[in-house]
Amino acid sequence: MKNQIIIREAITEQDLAFFGEQMRVYHKRDIFSNLNDHDKEYFLDNARYQANSENTRIKNQGNCYCLLFYLDDQKMGFALPVFYHQDCKRCFLMEFHVFSEFCENGMDSQCARELIAWINEKGTKYLEINCDTTQQQRFWQNFGFILNGVNELGVPLMILPPKEDIPIVIEILTAPENGQFKKLENRFLREIEEQPLTEEQQTQLAQAIWNGKITFFIAKCDHRMVGMCSVARCFSTFACSDTGVFEDFYIEPAFRKKGIARKLVQAAQDWCRENGIVSLTVCSAPCDEQMYQNLGFTISLGHTYAHLI
């Protein structure tokens, strides 16, 4: 059939060489165009780039696909989706590019539709992509993508969530080394304009969780962690009993306004009652006071002051 877009995996040595060269040209022109000469030499060195690409393929063997778009027998673009089947059936679209001569008459949109259909056939629940320009964001919004915060580097993320309604389950975190949890925590920190945790800090946090100093409650949509909150336990001489501090309250933007916040807070409050914690307090910014009051934090304890050591 003429004028039909076909997706083929680059498998032969010739196709892989074409894929790698076109990716490098695309990066040089569109991605790293503002770098200085020294950085360009590092990021765009062909041998290094090919080695990094090969490492990515080996690391994700069976889950990383170098794809080429064809119109009849003409190559018209490429894509690089990476599947994380053990990580909530997620696919991350690392690269998507249609050559300029094929972008007229909506051919780039047609390639995107074909690619989304190809990815969905793999049983994917969530499709994600980095989009750092408003033009890219508008393009992917046409296919149902939603802005979903930023990654650890501060780059905007977009997600194509499942069409069906999936029940939300609240669980206590039992594996603090979980990669999803680390990403969720760092995205929370980015949203409140704090730096992501270093490896040392991640180790310290995991140890505090194992030691019972802090308990995390995780909201899951199918197998994806989409929200969290925590209770840090401490002893109060005023109450002569354990009290809790409510922290790390975060829900991915694409999953807000679905009742997840109330479910997380309710789980934390119930857990406190069951574990002899007599009060749960939260330090709130003025803009969030009404939200916390609606969630049951109704007793004002005045202002909180801190001295950082």
Length of the chain: 309
Mean pLDDT of the region 226-235: 96
Tokens coding 241: 């009993």
Cα end-to-end distance, the chain, whole Å: 71
Mean pLDDT of the region 134-157: 93
Q: What superfamily would CATH give domain 5-124?
A: Gcn5-related N-acetyltransferase (GNAT) (3.40.630.30)
Name the pTM for this structure: 0.83
Nearest residue to 254 via CA among 171, 139, 132, 166: 166
Calpha distance 297→247 (Å, rounded): 13
Measure the CA angle with vertex 157, ends 152 and 158; round to 5°.
Answer: 160
What pLDDT, on a 0 to 100 scale, did the predictor assign at position 85?
A: 77
Contact (CB, 8 A) for 124 and 89 = yes
pLDDT band at 232; cut points 50, 70, 90 = very high
Contact (CB, 8 A) for 50 and 13 = no
What pLDDT, on a 0 to 100 scale, did the predictor assign at position 20?
A: 86
Question: Measured in whole angstroms, how far is the alpha carbon of residue 9 from the centre of its chain?
Answer: 26
What pLDDT, on a 0 to 100 scale, did the predictor assign at position 45?
A: 53
Please give the DSSP secondary-structure letter assigned to residue 64.
B
H-assigned helices in the chain: 13-26, 37-44, 46-59, 107-120, 134-141, 179-191, 199-210, 260-274, 289-294
The model's pLDDT over 104-127, given as tens digits with 9 standing for 90+, comes to 788 999 999 999 999 999 989 899
The model's pLDDT over 156-206, given as tens digits with 9 standing for 90+, comes to 999 998 877 788 999 999 999 999 999 999 999 999 999 999 999 999 999
Mean pLDDT of the region 88-112: 90
Percent of the chain having pLDDT more than 90? 63
Nearest residue to 3 via CA among 104, 80, 107, 96: 107
Q: Where in the chain is the domain with CATH 3.40.630.30?
A: 5-124, 168-294
Phi first, then psi: what are they for 140, rounded to 5°?
A: -80, -25
What pLDDT, on a 0 to 100 scale, did the predictor assign at position 4?
A: 86
Fold of the CATH domain 168-294 = Aminopeptidase (3.40.630)
Strand, coil or helix: 280: strand
Which are the contacts of 12, defined by CB distance < 8 A and separation ≥ 6? none
The model's pLDDT over 233-261, given as tens digits with 9 standing for 90+, comes to 998 888 789 999 999 999 999 999 999 99
What pLDDT, on a 0 to 100 scale, did the predictor assign at position 59?
A: 45
Indicate the average pLDDT of the chain. Answer: 87
Range with the poorest average pLDDT among 8-22, 24-38, 67-81, 138-152: 24-38
What pLDDT, on a 0 to 100 scale, did the predictor assign at position 81?
A: 95
As a whole number of Å, the CA-based R_g of the chain is 23
Please give the DSSP secondary-structure letter assigned to residue 195.
P
Calpha distance 232→246 (Å, rounded): 7
Mean pLDDT of the region 138-167: 90
pLDDT band at 43; cut points 50, 70, 90 = very low
